[in-house]
Structure 1
């Protein structure tokens, strides 16, 4: 049983690789290192440096594989509005190439890293799998199209699949692997505090208990274990739901994260406050009930633990 992790040199992918190995499952990686980091790779794990658009290289990387965890792609929702063609090429055309290579190699299992971005800005305060998708960026649209591709391919060829949708991935399960995204809240706060600067809260007039927006945050180690559970289920022949939300059902406010940062780092700071950013929802969280039922999944970290692991892994030099 060997699983190929696409994007396995990225922040999430590197954690998925480590989770598979910790569970005794052989794994290989394909990544073009456009955003992944070579230092996140595990030395003894077979690695192919290639873009998934290179179908021949992808086919070779799939030799001997039982299944695929598909994390590779372009992940920046905001930037995708400015670069729609690039986003669709890396997230849709690349998946077509991957599925073609899988069919040629007879690989019939895939766990797709989708996104809660498919929901856009939902009216439901707690998002379930029955919440209607309404993506509001090329990124979200590309993830939804990826789910459609899986469903359509499964009608035409042997393919067991499931897609995992989640919001904000945070923390670290390995002090050598960290989130380097310039757009995510945790690395932004870590970077500013490291530089001796003060983080900012955008919007303190939301209809929430402390006035700041509430969102779902999932620890990357919990997320990685969900991918392992899904892979094991598919490999055993179990039929899974086409999509699962990975969420807490409650969420965490921006101010609660700032308070956690103060406690964890010991840096006494008061965040500055600014106006809301356009389109920023007041409260969006996801229910993880289906994932708990079928994948024995739960969000097991407190907000302090989430920030503590992110801070430990963040490069200070």
Structure 2
């Protein structure tokens, strides 16, 4: 089978592309490298440097489907520059869907996010809970979910939207390359804490230690990026023509900010200074996924659910790429890491 992977030079896209190649598929990666890395394109994939809007020049009837990861994804930036997010995430996907329709490519897996839920009333969060995003990033992802549903009903697209919770870890592929997380700027908790362990940041800021949780800090659901990638391959054949499947992807367990920090200390053997700061607006105390639908419909089971193992994979990758984009020495942020 032949697939186009938009945003395939980024963190999740590169790991999914590697899994596709290992499964024997033919892969074309389309990425403008604005946030991705050329080194993140797996060996064996055809690489095209370009935007989502350029997909029409690549797609033809020889493709069996598209896996769509290309998006602006910084929550804070989306608040101060919302037009960028609507233009790229929504406008770009409109053009991608048109290109797929024109080429007769009728299968799509979309990288959605738990940010579509906003501040849920309770946990674990199911796909039937209200979607009420609290920032433009989540709003644009939800808009694309709605757009895809309309495309399925009107034009027979078979599609799955996978709503990620906190993705972490790294993947050692069969091509001898390890693919991991190196956003610039970084906003996710585990790589930020690892930067403190490396001496690249002075401390990690913990925003609030008075939440109604066992240790007072926020609790989040962490999923290993390789488990996430496996769900994408299963999702390619999950939805019949004309239907739009939405699934949460998480491990169903939560770890607090303090648990993550302490696990990094144990795994790395390095001190990690903390700075306790005021709570941030919009940070729910607990965000944990119910992934029962993905288990039932996709036949998916996350297997890398141990926090120490996830941190160890991320630490090994961080040491390999220690000379990569630095983030300065200012205190880090705890980050929700929602997709």
Sort the TM-score into its range (normalised by shorter chain): over 0.9
User: Which aligned segments of 4 or more residues in structure 1 are displaced greater than 3 angstroms?
Assistant: 237-241
2 CA distance for matches of 1:88 and 1:103?
21
The SS at the match of 1:245 is strand
Structure 1 residues 241 and 152: CA distance shift in structure 2, 3 A: closer
Q: Is residue 57 of structure 2 the alignment partner of residue 60 of structure 1?
A: yes
Match in the other structure for 2:303:
300
The SS at the match of 1:47 is strand
Residue 240 of structure 1: how far off its partner (Å): 6.7
Residue 62 of structure 1: how far off its partner (Å): 1.8
Greater Cα shift, 221-230 or 39-48: 39-48
2 CA distance for matches of 1:229 and 1:85?
34
2 CA distance for matches of 1:33 and 1:140?
22
Q: Is residue 214 of structure 2 the alignment partner of residue 223 of structure 1?
A: no
| Structure 1 stretches lacking a partner, 5+ long | none
CA contact (8 A) 1:124 1:131 kept: no
CA contact (8 A) 2:15 2:229 kept: yes
Match in the other structure for 2:25:
25
2 CA distance for matches of 1:203 and 1:173?
32
C-alpha deviations, 1:77-128, integer Å up to 9, x for none? 1210111110011100000100010001000000111111110111122110
Q: Is residue 238 of structure 2 the alignment partner of residue 198 of structure 1?
A: no
Match in the other structure for 1:98:
96
Residue 239 of structure 1: how far off its partner (Å): 8.1
Q: Please report the TM-score for the alignment, with normalisation by the length of structure 1.
A: 0.94
Alpha-carbon RMSD: 1.7
Match in the other structure for 1:157:
155
| Structure 2 stretches lacking a partner, 5+ long | 324-339
Greater Cα shift, 192-201 or 39-48: 192-201
C-alpha deviations, 1:246-293, integer Å up to 9, x for none? 122221111111111011101144533222222211111110000011
Q: How many pairs are equivalent? A: 312
2 CA distance for matches of 1:159 and 1:241?
8
Greater Cα shift, 97-106 or 195-204: 195-204
2:78 to 67, 77, 80: 80
CA contact (8 A) 1:240 1:294 kept: no
Q: Please report the TM-score for the alignment, with normalisation by the length of structure 2.
A: 0.88
